[in-house]
Amino acid sequence: MRRALVAGVVLCRFGTIAEAGRKVDVDSDPTGASVYLNDVDSGAACNSTPCTIDAPVGTTTIIIRKDGYAPEITEINVPKRGKVMPFKVTLRSEVGTQIVTDPAFKGGRIFVDDIDKGPVPQHLDIPAGPHHAQVLVRGKPVADEILDLDAGAEHELKATASAPLPPQVADTTVKSGGFEDDGGEVKPNSVIKHKDPEPEPSEPREPYLFVGADFDVGFRQFRYDNAQNGLAATESESGQAMLGPAAELWPMILMGGHHLRGLSLFGKVEFGLNHQPVLDTANAPVGPTTFWGNIEAGVRHRWHVGEESSVALEGGFVRDQLQFMSTSKADLLKVPYADYRSIKLGVRASTMVGSLEPFIELEGRIILSGGDLGDRFMSHDITGGHAAVGASLSAGPVYVRAQAAITIYSWALTNSGSSQPGGTADGASDRIEVLSFVVGLTH
């Protein structure tokens, strides 16, 4: 009798186990979804579809979840006997696409709900619903929208002429096909509250005007090649000081344009502050005194390279006055009286190191005229070049720049005869070194 009872208990238990569950193949489109039976509190029966789960015989609630898609909640029927059919669902996307490809966004970064999403251009997949989307170029918002993105929809962000930050918007509520419990899980037909972000403080606008003063200290070393007939072979001048106004204007920024915002017009005029006497080899004055001046005007365009660096091309007119004053014309013939008027073409590269911006620039000079010095010879040819290194610093509206520059003019000379006034020479080199300091305000 005891054996019969034991056998009955074993058979009943085996029957319970046998009916506890059967293998079911579960898949989803797209794949990679989690599978739950009855509720999510018991844990996932499968973490990534396609997979095979143990499902109880009979009708059971099955929940398929994947980030970015609405949860699928349905029932699965597992027969006690016979073939178990595979189960597959198609998930409905809860993601929309934010398109950020406007050429005006070049060099900018994308922010969605105050989170940096990286540089432009991009096609961003973000959850459906209300969002705060921005594009910042050098700290300035060039696009700023509050949008309500539908699932599966695409929204293209466009630049605005002036993109003020949006006012605070009241909380909005949207129905969700998801589910939520007290632990933060989502339940069917719950209401999810979305709070639009509070407005941020306005970003400082890009400056469109600089006005300041340029102070230079110059050093000159002039040397003739094969100087004869009483012509002094060299002339040196040290500590020549010049001062004058400098300005730069960015017209497209001033007009609120989206293109050519790196284009600027610049100019400066400097006047000599000290007139030094010309000395002979015994350091005795010979009559003339120095007279320096400088004029520059041109156009520049700057392109940003990455987040911190830039390259600029520029061209314009430059005048270097390296002249002398004397009551005697004969004395002026003994000194290198030059008035260089040139077309300059150059390139400047810079990078940001904190708030400091070091730079280097190179220029070629097309010499239009060399002044009185060239007129003393039967013919002449002049070439020129310029190089500078320095750094600038901006602190609010205050702008400061310091640089060291060298300009070299080379002369090829043809003499008219041995009795030529002022002597003869085969050529000359004129080397001008300048330390420059600029202080001004931007607006």
Q: What is the 3-state secondary structure (H, E, C) of 149-203?
A: ECCCCEEECCCCCCCCCCCCCCCEEEECCCCECCCCCECCCCEEEECCCCCCCCC
- The span from the CA of 428 to the CA of 300, in Å, is 32
Q: Which domains does the chain have, with CATH numbers?
A: 18-93 (2.60.40.1120), 95-194 (2.60.40), 209-442 (2.40.128.100)
- The span from the CA of 358 to the CA of 267, in Å, is 21
- The span from the CA of 137 to the CA of 102, in Å, is 12
pTM, rounded to two decimals: 0.56
Q: What is the pLDDT of residue 300?
A: 96
Q: Which segments of 49-139 are extended strands (E)?
A: 51-55, 58-65, 69-70, 72-78, 87-90, 92-93, 95-100, 109-112, 115-119, 122-127, 129-137
Helix (H, G, I), strand (E, B) or coil at 2: helix
pLDDT tens for each residue of 366-408: 999 999 888 888 899 999 999 999 999 988 899 999 999 999 9
Percentage of the chain surpassing pLDDT 90? 39
- Per-residue pLDDT band for 418 (boundaries 50, 70, 90) equals low
With beta carbons less than 8 A apart as the criterion, state whether 414 and 379 touch: yes
With beta carbons less than 8 A apart as the criterion, state whether 128 and 192 touch: no
Q: Which long-range contacts (CB under 8 A, 24 or more apart) does 306-313 make?
A: 307/107, 308/351, 308/352, 309/349, 309/350, 309/351, 309/352, 310/262, 310/349, 310/350, 310/351, 311/347, 311/348, 311/349, 312/262, 312/347, 312/348, 312/349, 312/350, 313/346, 313/347
Q: Which tokens is 417 given?
A: 């005869």
Q: What is the pLDDT of residue 20?
A: 58
For residue 417, what are the contacts with CB-CB under 8 A and spacing of at least 6?
none
Q: Which segments of 230-262 are extended strands (E)?
A: 234-249
- Compute the average pLDDT of residues 170-187: 44
pLDDT surpassing 50 at residue 135: yes
With beta carbons less than 8 A apart as the criterion, state whether 51 and 36 touch: no
With beta carbons less than 8 A apart as the criterion, state whether 345 and 317 touch: no
Q: What is the pLDDT of residue 132?
A: 86
Q: What are the backbone dihedrals phi and psi of residue 14, each rounded to the nearest 5 degrees, phi first? A: -60, -40
Q: Which amino acid is at 37?
A: L
For residue 324, what are the contacts with CB-CB under 8 A and spacing of at least 6?
278, 288, 289, 290, 291, 332, 335, 337
Q: Which tokens is 264 given?
A: 């600027």
DSSP string, 103-116: GGGTT-EEEETTEE
pLDDT surpassing 60 at residue 315: yes
- Among 88-97, 303-312, 332-341, 432-441, which stretch is predicted with the lowest mean pLDDT? 88-97
Q: What is the pLDDT of residue 419?
A: 66
Helix (H, G, I), strand (E, B) or coil at 9: helix
Q: What is the pLDDT of residue 328?
A: 87
- Compute the average pLDDT of residues 99-121: 84
For residue 7, what are the contacts with CB-CB under 8 A and spacing of at least 6?
none
